[in-house]
Structure 1
Amino acid sequence: MAPAGSAACVFCRIVAGEAPAYRVHEDGAVVAFLDQRPLFPGHTLVVPRTHLETLTDLPEESVGPYFTAVRRLTGAVERAMEADGSLVAGNNRVSQSVPHLHTHVVPRRRKDGLRGFFWPRGHYADETEARRIAARIRAQL
């Protein structure tokens, strides 16, 4: 993990004002800016000011401020882009192009060509398998 404000992390450099970005919002908890490679115009990234790699690294006391900003930005992006809705998503490690926690807020329109999730969907073999997996997850909480 790169230290906060590290030159190795492009998002830390954006937060510090050392790298260019089209900022759309900033407060004590987050900085939000347009994605350089947007799925659609208005695609915004929300990042915590502190360098954290994944959602599980976000301290509990920061969850509320972080997701309050994500919620506000989701509404703002939808209104600004006159969108029908939005995709709000984040990756943890796998497919995370920058190892700094970030949430994508992507404006959506019906029939915009984006198909649900980006991977094949499946089914549980049966109710027993679904119950067993649910129990495994509960046990980790």
Structure 2
Amino acid sequence: MGSDCLFCRIAAGEIPATIVRETDTTLAFRDIDPKAPVHVLVIPKEHYADVAALGRADPALAGELLAAAAVVAEDEGLLGDGYRLMFNTGAYGGQEVFHVHAHVLGGAPLGPMLCR
């Protein structure tokens, strides 16, 4: 992806982030505007616009992303009380950065899935 993708730039080390986990293919870092006591974003280092594109193009990498998110949840102490793993896809889904990313959210009751 070009230099205009925020998460590609974070993965390349051009923009600082608070990294909590890194593998050869994934990167996990704290959200700068957290919506829960624990709010970590997990991305593939390779650019895919959304989770559907990733799943179609590289199912193995999609699995690595899920595995990384599970390790983050464990490392952050979320397994006992639970956590939410969320992918926003497209404008109606609330996606703001068009580089696939999983939100690992927890540390307090999160409430309903959708607010009405």
Change (3 A) 1:52 1:115: same
Question: Structure 2-normalised TM-score?
Answer: 0.86
Unaligned runs of 5+ in 1: 121-141
Distance 2:61 2:79 in 1: 30
More helix by share: 1
> Does 1 or 2 have the higher relative contact order (CA < 8 Å, sep 6+)?
2
Matches within 5 A, 1:39-78: 39-58=35-54, 59-77=58-76
Contact 2:73 2:79 in 1 (8 A): no
Query: In the alignment, what sits opposite 2:90?
Result: 93
Shift of 1:83: 6.9
Shift of 1:74: 1.5
Higher Cα Rg: structure 1 or 2? Answer: 1
Query: In the alignment, what sits opposite 2:31?
Result: 35
Unaligned runs of 5+ in 2: none
Question: Structure 1-normalised TM-score?
Answer: 0.71
Distance 2:17 2:103 in 1: 15
Distance 1:69 1:83 in 2: 18
Moved over 3 A (4+): none
SS in 1 for 2:64: helix
SS in 2 for 1:44: strand
Distance 1:83 1:43 in 2: 16
Q: Which amino acid aligns with 2:90?
A: R
Query: In the alignment, what sits opposite 1:9?
Result: 5
**Cα root mean square deviation, aligned:** 1.8
1:55-109 Cα shifts (integer Å, max 9, x gaps): 11111121221211111111112x1x79722111011112101000000001132
Count of residues in Structure 1 that have an aligned counterpart in Structure 2: 111
